[in-house]
Amino acid sequence: MHQRTPALPSPHTTPHRAHPRMVPAALAVLLLAALPLLAPQGTLAAQVQAEEETELAHGLEVAELQVEPGELQVRVGETVPISVRALDADGNTLSPRYLIRSSRGIGMTEEGLQGREVGDHQLLIIVALPPGSDAEPATITVPVEVLWPAVERIEVEPAAGALYTGTDQRLRAIAVHADGSRRPAASFRWSTSDPDIARVDDHGHVAVEGEGPVTLVAEFEGVRGELEVDARPLPATRIEVETSHTHVKAGDVVTLDARALDEAGAPVADAPLEWTYTYVPDDSIVAPGAVASIRDDRFVARFPGEYTVRARAGGVSGWQTIRVDSRDVVRSIETLGQGRMDHRRTSDFWVFEGVDGRDYALTGTWGSGGWTYVWDVTDPTAIVMTDSIQVDARTVNDVKVSPDARYATLTLEGASDRRNGVVILDMANPAHPEIATEYDEGLTGGVHNAFPMDDYLYVLSAGERYLIVDMADLRNPVTVGEVDIPGSRIHDVWVHDGIAYSAEWQTGVVMTDVGNGRWGGSPENPVVVNTLALPGGNTHAVFPYYQEETGRFYIFAGDEIIGRSGFALEGGNNRAPYDPDVPGTGTPRNTAGYIHILDYTDPENPKKVARYHVPEYGTHNIWVEDDILYQAYYEGGLRVVDVSGELAGNLYEQGREIAVFKPNDPVGYVANAPTTWSAMPFKGNIFLSDANSGLWAVQLEPETRVVP
């Protein structure tokens, strides 16, 4: 066993998730950022260093904090100044140091407090005290309400094609702010200048019944948008419909094409075409009514049967029929072996072939004293622990091995000395790795994840940014670059073909050129290409995947939602093993969230196209290989999913699940409570780590076909 002697914790140590930023009281404008906040740099850092002892001593004298203004109302994108005064018992002004903490919806600029997310937020100001002090620090909480910017204009247009007499369609209205951003979920008041020509309902659905000029109006927050129409008869007399396929499996995407033609056979390019479908199920008892979707001229069905797709404009229509069969992909799964861990919670793992030709896995631990375990998995039916490593950390959250198996990384959180950082293991002897170095330059705020390549290591710092580290010399790593999106929280990063894809919660997926070169990026000069925000703002993990069959490049991006607040099944978030003296212990946790599937085939115009969503469970880490998704779904266990072909809709509802495995263990850390953290296919088998039971190896049974 390799063990690093931990340093004694400071009596005034701040928990690792806080990472507060110290701000001198002399500053009239506080520089605020979403938690956690970094120590200031440059001239300000030098000033703070020089005044530190005096400022901390002043903290003991503070009797009252005053903030102006005492509560704030700010619009998204706007900034307001804010000042703080510290007073002693006699009303004299002091100059202490502050811990400044804020929720994510408010952030920092040089001018003051900036609104970033609509809602009610709080700014917490705490006076810093000298190390070792057991006094209660003075604090003050400032309520902050963030409002939407004012609407500048409203744009109104038809959803598809022109408004001809005899047609109907939904109008599209957009409320635009002065900065060009759009107001989501705006509720418009609709009206028409002449109801004899065009009628419009409360939802913006318009029916054109007469001829001549008419104005359609959408109003919101006192701003008015207009669409002027000169209604005339629809010239189309027939519609021709073609489909890319007429016989598919559930979940396959069918491309639709419709052409409106006039009496002479000439196309009517602006005909307002609308797609619908009818359905005859194979089993009318099992199949529900709404079983398919049409979006962007793409049709995807969830259940077997015959579907007739129709394109219409006014009273003119055309159709085609599509036969849909079941995917029939279900296979059995066999348990091969287990590396049981029943006294500590297992976190991430990595399985690999060592330089000695044998197969190994590393597993980390969560909240369990900084332990990592080494397993020989050459025979997955007889998994053997070969070594253990303890480092100064509460949690070894993430473990990975470089593609060449030269080194491994252990990420540290909750170190007693708050240095945290990443431990580099020399894997020359993979059964008994040696610590090559403990690298913490710029990583003192805690490291949640890392991604090692042969030459470079991408490692998160304090949940705010990631560093790019040259790994040519394992014992002397050198930071050469960093990627930091202001105000963005980061959880995960994955590198593919010189492009780093990072999961950054509300920011979504951030794409950065770190060596691909198309956008001029390199490890020393990373270039952010774009960001793609996802619904819910819980973007936690990413996995890039090139699909050879279609030539599409997908990003699988996962949510993480611990607890189920707001759901009918709320449940708890218990993480402790059973203790008869502690009520509620030994019960499974409950999570939520799903996998967003994003099409990055055109990397400068990515879009969400599909999802994989299992109700009542929440996703964690992701792996995709050979058109199969190996999804760790926390208490939902391991989910093995067919992701072949173009993807659309909810894959869970399309019969794409191949197998499900729940690693129940009656003597686990929490008994029979699967909490699957990660999964990886390896040499024909599937390995997975489970928080309550350790390391597992399973195998998919061969495909079988039922012969009548």
Q: Look at residue 563 in the predicted model and tell me its pLDDT.
A: 87
Q: Quick check: is 24 in a domain? A: yes
Task: Provide mean pLDDT across the span 571-591.
Answer: 81
Claim to verify: residue 168 and residue 92 sit in the same structural domain: no
Quick: pLDDT tens for 374-401.
999 999 999 999 999 999 999 999 999 9
- Local confidence band at 290 (pLDDT 50, 70, 90 cut-offs): confident
Claim to verify: residue 40 and residue 91 sit in the same structural domain: yes
CATH number at residue 190: 2.60.40.1080
- Local confidence band at 37 (pLDDT 50, 70, 90 cut-offs): very low
More confident residue, 184 or 45: 184
Q: Look at residue 446 in the predicted model and tell me its pLDDT.
A: 87
User: Model's pTM, two decimal places?
Assistant: 0.82
- With a CB cutoff of 8 Å and minimum separation 6, the contacts of 171 are 156, 157, 158, 159, 190, 200, 204, 205, 206, 216, 218, 227
Claim to verify: residue 6 and residue 139 sit in the same structural domain: yes
Claim to verify: residue 39 and residue 115 sit in the same structural domain: yes
Q: Quick check: is 494 in a domain? A: no
Q: Quick check: is 690 in a domain? A: no
Judge contact between 246 and 322, C-beta under 8 A: yes
More confident residue, 155 or 56: 155
Claim to verify: residue 114 and residue 135 sit in the same structural domain: yes
Claim to verify: residue 174 and residue 41 sit in the same structural domain: no
Q: Look at residue 117 in the predicted model and tell me its pLDDT.
A: 87
The radius of gyration computed from the CA coordinates of the chain, to the nearest angstrom, equals 29
Quick: pLDDT tens for 83-117.
899 999 999 999 898 887 877 788 767 788 889 88
Domain final residue, candidates 325, 343, 358: 325
CA distance 165 to 260: 15
Lowest pLDDT segment from 56-70, 326-340, 368-382, 539-553: 56-70
- With a CB cutoff of 8 Å and minimum separation 6, the contacts of 705 are none
- Local confidence band at 4 (pLDDT 50, 70, 90 cut-offs): very low
Claim to verify: residue 7 and residue 133 sit in the same structural domain: yes
Q: Quick check: is 243 in a domain? A: yes
Q: Look at residue 104 in the predicted model and tell me its pLDDT.
A: 72
Claim to verify: residue 78 and residue 136 sit in the same structural domain: yes
> What one-letter code names the amino acid at 180?
G
CATH number at residue 91: 2.60.40.10
Coil, strand or helix at 44: helix
Claim to verify: residue 117 and residue 18 sit in the same structural domain: yes
Task: Provide mean pLDDT across the span 643-651.
Answer: 97
Structure tokens, 279: 């359905």
> What one-letter code names the amino acid at 181?
S
Strands (E), 178-222: 189-192, 198-200, 205-208, 212-220
CA 632 vs CA 372, 414, 689, 705: distances in Å: 20, 25, 9, 28
Query: Which helix H or strand E contains 55, and what residues bound it?
Result: helix 42-59
Please determine, for residue 574, whether its predicted confidence score (pLDDT) is greater than 80. no
Q: Quick check: is 528 in a domain? A: no
Structure tokens, 219: 């109003």
Quick: pLDDT tens for 484-531.
998 789 999 999 999 999 999 999 999 999 999 999 999 999 999 999
Judge contact between 101 and 23, C-beta under 8 A: no
Judge contact between 108 and 33, C-beta under 8 A: yes
CA distance 268 to 163: 13
Q: Quick check: is 214 in a domain? A: yes
CA 271, 649, 118: angle at the middle one, nearest 5?
A: 90
Please determine, for residue 179, whether its predicted confidence score (pLDDT) is greater than 80. yes
Claim to verify: residue 76 and residue 47 sit in the same structural domain: yes
- With a CB cutoff of 8 Å and minimum separation 6, the contacts of 435 are 2, 4, 389, 391, 423, 424, 425, 426
Q: Look at residue 447 in the predicted model and tell me its pLDDT.
A: 94
**Mean pLDDT of all residues in the chain?**
89
CA distance 451 to 664: 30
Q: Quick check: is 96 in a domain? A: yes
| Structural domains of the chain, count | 3
Q: Look at residue 577 in the predicted model and tell me its pLDDT.
A: 86
- Local confidence band at 704 (pLDDT 50, 70, 90 cut-offs): low
Domain final residue, candidates 200, 231, 262: 231
Q: Look at residue 419 in the predicted model and tell me its pLDDT.
A: 81
Which structural domain, as residue segments, surrounds residue 305? 238-325
Q: What are phi and psi of 564, to 5 degrees?
A: -135, 45
Q: Quick check: is 183 in a domain? A: yes
Quick: pLDDT tens for 602-626.
999 999 999 999 999 999 999 999 9
CA distance 349 to 694: 10
Structure tokens, 516: 């691909």
Residues above pLDDT 90, as percent of the chain:
74
Judge contact between 669 and 693, C-beta under 8 A: yes
Domain final residue, candidates 325, 349, 372: 325
Please determine, for residue 276, whether its predicted confidence score (pLDDT) is greater than 70. yes
Claim to verify: residue 58 and residue 21 sit in the same structural domain: yes
Q: Look at residue 26 in the predicted model and tell me its pLDDT.
A: 30
Claim to verify: residue 6 and residue 125 sit in the same structural domain: yes
Q: Look at residue 706 in the predicted model and tell me its pLDDT.
A: 53
